[in-house]
Each structure stands twice: as C-alpha cells, then as structure tokens.
Structure 1
C-alpha cells in the first residue's frame, strides 16, 4: 500500500490523518487470509501497538513490514509471525499528514451536491 489513515478529532467532526513510510513509495501491511464457507475469501490486517508518531492519533497501528522481512512473514513459523506483532515499527520511518478531509461524509451533503449539479 502507499498510506493508511486514521480518524482524528471529536466525534462528528473527525478528520482523516494519513500515515506513510519515509522513502518507501509502497510498503507492506502484514495480513492473514483464508476462504470462508460463509463469506468466501476473507482477510484481516494484523495490528500492533502504535509507535510514537501514530500514538497521538490512535493506540494501535498496522504491523508494517520492512522489505527484507517479506519472506519471513510469508514463509516463517507461527512464532516468527507472533514476533512481528510484538515489535514496534521505527517512529522515525513514519510520516504523518493531517488533513481537513472529514472521516465520514454526511449522507445529506452528497445528495444535495448531486442535485446542484
């Protein structure tokens, strides 16, 4: 992926805050997937405690992988995988971009804009 976002601010007025990895145009978020009889293909992103950059916005963050860790994530043992969740991604590698974009757009606002067009 290129970025991940978290909601920031007071309920009803939350804005979107973006995070990316310094000097990495794309990076990997550790995840799990399987085929479910009920839902078909399903997936989940693995989360961990937030580092110092993300913590002011949210108490957890995705488990981000360094490129040299991809093979270990894909082929490692169960204990290897648990180890990723226990480590903290270096804060000096994370960039934060606060925006004024609302996290949730009001349903009525979209309808009004469509009518005005």
Structure 2
C-alpha cells in the first residue's frame, strides 16, 4: 500500500495543472509526504476547483487499541463500496484529487529494503483519486483510493493507487458512484508506468503528529 509520495512541483504548477485556485495561505509541506502529514488536494467548492492542504489519513480508532489511544491516520482506501467509505464516495462534494509526482514502494530483502519510485509517463503531475472530509481531531483530512496492481507494479506490491488520466478528472469528481467503482476495478496501463530503483534505504519513519487547521 502507498505510504510515501512526493509533489516536487511549485504551487503554481500544481494549480495550473488542475485549473485550481491556490490557497490564500501557502502551506509548508514536507518533501516526502507520509501518513499523518499535510499534503495538497484538489477539491471543488461552489463550482470551482481549489487547492487545499489537509492531513493525509482519516483519524480512526480500532477495537484492538487501548482505551484513550490517539487515532491512527488511515491513508489508503481498500474498497469504496464498503463502510465507512461508500457514503462519502456517493457524495461528489466529498471527492478529491491528490496531486503527486511520484510514489514509492520498498524493494529488496528484509533489513535492506530500498526506495523504488513510480512515476507516470507524460504526466509530470499525476492525479490519485481520493476522498476527504472534515474531522474533529485534525480538521480536513483525505485518503487515497487503492486498486489491484497492474503487471508493471506487481513485482513491488499487489496494490497501487487509483491513478487517473487527465481527461478523467471531472468524471471522478462528478461521476456516478458506479463510475467510481469502475475506476477502482480497472487496470491502469502498464506502458504508462515508469519505475526507478534507488539505493536509498527504506527507513521506516515515525508517523507525524497530525496538526489541525490546515489551509
């Protein structure tokens, strides 16, 4: 599952790519975006696309957690047809686009895994299909929808983000619930996937402490 991605472009470039209005206050975002950290999303309000910073991950508490434990950021959505995702996915106002320039998966033997980066051919800034909502704990939060990996990514992991072609953005934001399910069930073209292995160690990082009130 995707737990690390980047947006190595300026706010102007992201806004222009998605025809979105920039935020009134420029968010200070990390280079490597991890669950619980702030990231950029594109959502619609009053018929206009806006660029906004939110916390990556829906705050959730599980039965196995100790009483009083802080919620965990759930950053990936396995199946939008199941609770609690379906009620959100059915509402266009709860859908969003997650800009990314690349995402990473660990590769190699246990104890020596390295970062392998995945980029999308001819899309310097790609769109990952997502959902968002307001939370009491961290303010606005978002999570990315996952699907079965195509043949190009399967050697790295059996799951991958639901990636959208540029002409599909409006369909994700405004289409029917059945349209969204179809996106999650389709295979993204293998020939559009570019994989770059690195020698950078995949060092597990501590989940950031989410901060509410992102702009």
String of CA shifts for 1:80-109, please: whole Å, max 9, x gaps: 111110001000110000111001069xxx
After TM superposition, the runs of 4+ consecutive aligned structure 1 residues lying more than 6 A away are none
Query: 5+ unaligned residues in a row in structure 2: which ranges?
Result: 1-99, 206-215
**1:5 and 2:110 equivalent?**
no
Give the equivalent residue in structure 1 for 2:125: 26
Equivalent-residue separation in structure 2 for 1:86 and 1:105 (angstroms): 30
Matched position secondary structure for 2:168 = helix
> Equivalent of 1:49, from 117, 126, 148?
148
Number of corresponding residues: 107
Normalised by the length of structure 2, the TM-score is: 0.48
Query: 5+ unaligned residues in a row in structure 1: which ranges?
Result: 107-117
Give the equivalent residue in structure 1 for 2:186: 87
Normalised by the length of structure 1, the TM-score is: 0.85
Structure ranking higher on relative contact order (CA contacts 8 Å, 6+ apart): 1
Say which one has the larger Rg: 1
Q: CA RMSD in A?
A: 1.7
